[in-house]
Amino acid sequence: MTWPEVEESLREAEVAIIPVGSTEQHGPHLALAADTVRAHRFSVRLARHLHPRVLVAPPVPVGISAHHMDFPGSMTLRPETLIQILMDYVSSLMHHGLEKIFIITGHGGNQSTISVATEIIRDEMGIIIPHVNYKTFTSDTTREIIGTGRIDHAGEWEVSDAMFLAPELVREERLTEQGAGSAPWKYTGLHDEFRVNYPLNWHELTANGAMGDARTATREKGEKLNDRALERAAEFLRDFMYEH
């Protein structure tokens, strides 16, 4: 948009979405930009759905991906950098009168840093910013559509979503399942039921960078899941706009 178009939009817009992505390896079959492009296009779909009440800020294209750096092309911010970027995005949006802000990430690795950022923003800037990884809008129904019911990195869920939102990022002839990683057994099988966390790097978990099996991904599955996420995100945003 031009600035006069933004000026016009601001008369009716109530919420700004900040999409946050990553630039990181997604196996041999999905491009590095997958999380950024998916988060951005999902946000734009949501804004169109709720037009003219929602605007979308430019996506943050690099996220927290230190654990993917052993694969060529991956880039990472330091957590403190992402926190600073989000604070500057928020103060810019507030400058133009937007005080209801929703952060949508397409990358799970960003979530703990976004949590810290929104706590700092609440303390220092006085606004509560909800945030979500949009895949979780479908976590209760994923099993109906995705065979394994799992939402894996560059696996069936994510590749299906990309086939729908950003097919140019998918290399269909290279769809694959995950390769065996090199992590010592004691870190991968030690009391999984306790859900203890380890800061493992991705190449230790999977040799080709993918998790799960992307060979069963389809555009139709992606469309179904994305539509469902869209409905639920819209339901949340309607309440968020109404209640605050």
**Which residues contribute to the site for Zn ion (CB under 5 A)?**
34-35
Q: Residue with CB nearest Zn ion?
A: 35
Sole residue written with tokens 């909800």:
130
Q: Is 209 left (phi over 0), alpha (psi -120 to 50) or beta?
A: left
Nearer to Zn ion (CB atom), residue 35 or residue 156: 35
Please give the distance of CA 102 from its chain centroid, rounded to a whole number: 13
Nearest-approach distance from CB 154 to Zn ion, in angstroms? 7
Nearest-approach distance from CB 46 to Zn ion, in angstroms? 18
Nearer to Zn ion (CB atom), residue 100 or residue 203: 203
Nearest-approach distance from CB 45 to Zn ion, in angstroms? 17
Nearest alpha-carbon partner for 104 in 129, 138, 79, 81: 129
- For residues 79 and 67, the answer to whether their CB atoms sit within 8 Å is no
Residues contacting residue 187 through CB under 8 Å, at least 6 positions apart: 198, 200, 204
Nearer to Zn ion (CB atom), residue 16 or residue 205: 205
Here the tokens at position 43 are 């946000």
Omega prior to 59 cis, within 30 of 0: no
Nearer to Zn ion (CB atom), residue 89 or residue 109: 109
Q: Rounded to an integer, what distance in angstroms lies between the CA atom of residue 188 and that of residue 155?
A: 19
Nearer to Zn ion (CB atom), residue 15 or residue 222: 222
Nearer to Zn ion (CB atom), residue 50 or residue 134: 134
Q: Rounded to an integer, what distance in angstroms lies between the CA atom of residue 233 and that of residue 224?
A: 14
Nearest-approach distance from CB 100 to Zn ion, in angstroms? 27
Nearest-approach distance from CB 58 to Zn ion, in angstroms? 19
Nearest-approach distance from CB 109 to Zn ion, in angstroms? 9
Nearest-approach distance from CB 223 to Zn ion, in angstroms? 18
Nearer to Zn ion (CB atom), residue 13 or residue 30: 30
Q: 157: which strand partners?
A: none
Here the tokens at position 167 are 């097919």
CA geometry: angle 189, 195, 196, nearest 5 deg: 80
